[in-house]
Structure 1
């Protein structure tokens, strides 16, 4: 009987020791292990999912009346003017100036083939520029109804008007426009569209990665596929030049009724 009691005690002791050993093994197994140099490197999938966190703009936004809007538009044309300067490049630079410099010109852009587009806005601006003889608006039917601008005598006064009406914004607006002065309309179209889809994602609080931005760009319109091979370089350029949206402005979506 005494032997049985002692054996039972030994069994209990052994079980307790086994339980302690098991707990120790489990703790070791669950403890985070230091990664090897190879394991420290991110995987290809992880590299693609790098979220871009926008920085707040240091400047303050302002709202323009109709006259100031026309002066701003005229300054954009003057500042980046070349002989081949046309409506497509102008509208993309107008979009980028408004959204990136946070100059509210009361636009209502929608997604069109060549990027963000506001037909009514362009119509009013061009009418004002023409009425005050800042620019002659030319439409060439031989080149697919391409619209270009020819500076008139009064265009030389636009710079003075601009600096008087936009004293606090002049530096950041001109800094942006200088980056695009030698760009073709296609390059402006690519950057403007990428900026728009990027800004849309920030407004919607959606994830932002290179792959998602390129996907949104290509889904903007079927004709965007011709720019597929240029998107990576465009994104790198935007990051290098700090042309990064912060979620300012309105969403730019497909038109409810096709124009």
Structure 2
């Protein structure tokens, strides 16, 4: 590498290039105990590039509208189900997003109830009322009440998700009668499985179960047998990370 290129590299990471023997000795002394701790077997270039793209992408009104439309379709299809609330809606949005690799602006974090975006529901509830599609009430069953313009999201839904229409409908029908805790288990298993895939780990039931319990201390409430059954069901149904 030419000296000018080396100087540019050191400058870019905050170091001046050593220009004499004393500076070279000082540089060597500063880094004599440095060890590279990264595991090259777990580096996933595709994930790194994906994270960079996401961090550099400006969020637009269309991004917010798109996720509201997806939520509206889920509620529209399942509004009569007593099992549908904020938690189940979020988990279904998470599964729709990651089983179809759709582009959707969300920020699902590791929460006690599984992958959860704390700001997502407030935004969606607000937009539901603005658009006069639905109104949410945590006291009532069903929790979503249809408003005057219910169903008007359909045109947008078919436009935004043209390539995922079949897969979304498949998921919604599969989970129509599922209770909140069942969907929570499956979404958390999916997230743990996805993490293992991204880290290039050897996928097996024991690894996923271990990650499940490490997710949050509250996961201890679920028996191992239920988690293993969820993994087997997801495998048979094809609802798992690729």
Q: Give the TM-score normalised by the residue count of structure 1.
A: 0.64
Match of 2:167 among 142, 167, 172: 172
Instruction: Give the C-alpha shift of residue 87 in structure 1.
Output: 0.5
Greater alpha carbon shift after TM alignment, 93-102 vs 224-233: 224-233
Distance (whole Å) between structure 1 residues aligned to residue 178 and residue 94 of structure 2: 15
Instruction: Give the C-alpha shift of residue 154 in structure 1.
Output: 1.7
Instruction: Give the C-alpha shift of residue 147 in structure 1.
Output: 10
Corresponding residue for residue 73 of structure 2: 75
Structure 1 consecutive aligned stretches of length 4 or more whose deviation exceeds 3 Å: none
The structure with the largest alpha-carbon Rg is 1
Please tell me whether the aligned partners of residues 193 and 217 of structure 1 are also in contact (alpha carbons under 8 angstroms): yes
Q: Deviations over 1:17-37 (max 9, x none)?
A: xxxxxxxxxxxxxxxxxxxxx
Distance (whole Å) between structure 1 residues aligned to residue 142 and residue 189 of structure 2: 24
Q: Could you list the runs of 5+ residues in structure 1 that have no partner in the other structure?
A: 1-62, 247-259
Q: Could you list the runs of 5+ residues in structure 2 that have no partner in the other structure?
A: 1-58
Please tell me whether the aligned partners of residues 82 and 142 of structure 2 are also in contact (alpha carbons under 8 angstroms): no
Corresponding residue for residue 118 of structure 2: 119
Greater alpha carbon shift after TM alignment, 121-130 vs 82-91: 121-130
Over the aligned positions, Cα root-mean-square deviation in angstroms equals 2.1
Instruction: Give the C-alpha shift of residue 217 in structure 1.
Output: 0.6
Count matched residues.
Answer: 180
Please tell me whether the aligned partners of residues 98 and 104 of structure 1 are also in contact (alpha carbons under 8 angstroms): yes
Distance (whole Å) between structure 1 residues aligned to residue 120 and residue 233 of structure 2: 29
Distance (whole Å) between structure 2 residues aligned to residue 208 and residue 139 of structure 1: 39
Instruction: Give the C-alpha shift of residue 163 in structure 1.
Output: 2.0
Corresponding residue for residue 196 of structure 2: 201
Q: How does 1:226-237 map onto structure 2 within 5 Å?
A: 226-228=221-223, 229-237=225-233
